[in-house]
Amino acid sequence: MNPPSRAVSGAELEPPQSAPAPTPHPRPFYWSVRRELWENRYLYIAPLGAAAVVLAGFLVNAFYAARGNATAVALQMPGGAGPIDKPYAIAAILITVTGLLTAVMYCLDALQGERRDRSILFWKSLPVSDLTAVLSKAAIPLAVVPLFVFSLIVATHVSMLFLNMCVRLAGGTGAALRAPSALFELWIALLYGETAIALWLAPVYGWLLLVSAWARRAALLWAALPLLAACILEKIAFNTRHFEFFLEYRFLGWFQAAFASGRPCCLPHPLATVFPAQFLSTPGLWTGLALAALFLAGAARLRRSRGPI
């Protein structure tokens, strides 16, 4: 007696399909940083505007210098102070200051703004911790803005060299077609300087983020008022200015800690003034970073407990 035959369907004859590839784990920190750049376009628009102003002024000055106008500002540092042209140093300073101002304004509004427009309710519904959100906001002034400012300074310097070449060729003066011999050293010193400024001002950015997470309005006033009150109280009570000197050291002490005496932009060899070992061994750097960590931890805790304004 033959065994009963079993009908085999076509689905059973097909080879087993492999399991679907697992979806890659999202990168909350990366996308949080990108979100900050999407929502705060002034972070790169303001430095770009400063670079445009520099290029426009340099172009006008180059035309006047090419025509031999005695009232034009000389492109070379007077008195042979160094081979770096003055406009290149001015461009670096102006773009850097613009980047610092935008970073400060961003920190003041970073955590208060999302509570004011109630978007914090949406962002808290996503699988992103408060600490990750605060660290992504801190990464903007500490890493993103300095890198963008440095890249923009280099691009501005290259554009200035190109414009100078075009103007000199059009005017028949080929002697000024060379690039400043210390310009490449200046770029390295600028990269080091932007890093030093970001690390040195880390507690300032952390304090501003902490105030932004706490204040309901007027974050700039709440950030500056306690510091000003402490200076006035110390002066009245003890007739001393230690806290004022501490604030001055915190805002401007990065230069003395990171560089030797003298201005790198006005020396023949800017790298001769760079002292990273001295900067890394400065106690003020590490105490500032410790304060920044405390401020950021407090900002994350406040973001967890604070609701919309």
d(Cα 2, Cα 307) in Å, to the nearest integer?
Answer: 77
| pLDDT for 71 | 42
User: For residue 252, how many C-alpha atoms fall within 13 Å in the half-sphere facing its CB?
Assistant: 5
| Segments of the chain with pLDDT less than 70 | 1-26, 65-85, 171-181, 261-270
Give the residue carrying structure tokens 């983020």: 209
What pLDDT, on the 0 to 100 scale, is given for residue 123?
A: 76
Q: State residue 165 phi and psi, 5-degree precision.
A: -65, -45
Q: How far apart, in whole angstroms, are the C-alpha atoms of residue 259 and residue 278?
A: 8
The Cα–Cα gap between 304 and 300 comes to 6
- Looking at the DSSP assignment, which residues form a beta bridge with residue 274? 259
Q: Write the pLDDT tens digit of every residue in 21-64.
A: 444 445 888 888 888 899 899 999 999 999 999 999 888 877 77
pLDDT at 17: 54
Q: Which residue intervals of the chain are DSSP H helices?
A: 10-13, 28-39, 42-66, 86-116, 120-124, 130-139, 145-171, 183-200, 202-214, 219-238, 242-258, 276-280, 283-305
Determine the Cα angle at 98 with ends 93 and 102, to 5°: 150
Is residue 284 within 8 Å of 253, Cβ to Cβ? yes
CB 138 within 8 A of CB 296: yes
Task: Tell me the three state secondary structure of residue 172.
Answer: coil
Please tell me the predicted confidence (pLDDT) of residue 62: 74
Dmax (CA) for the chain in angstroms is: 119
| List of residues 6+ apart from 28 with CB closer than 8 A | 126, 127, 128, 129, 132
CA distance 58 to 37: 30
C-alpha 50/C-alpha 145 separation (Å) is: 14
Q: Which two tokens stand for residue 7?
A: 């009908």
Return the H-helix or E-strand segment holding 262.
Answer: none
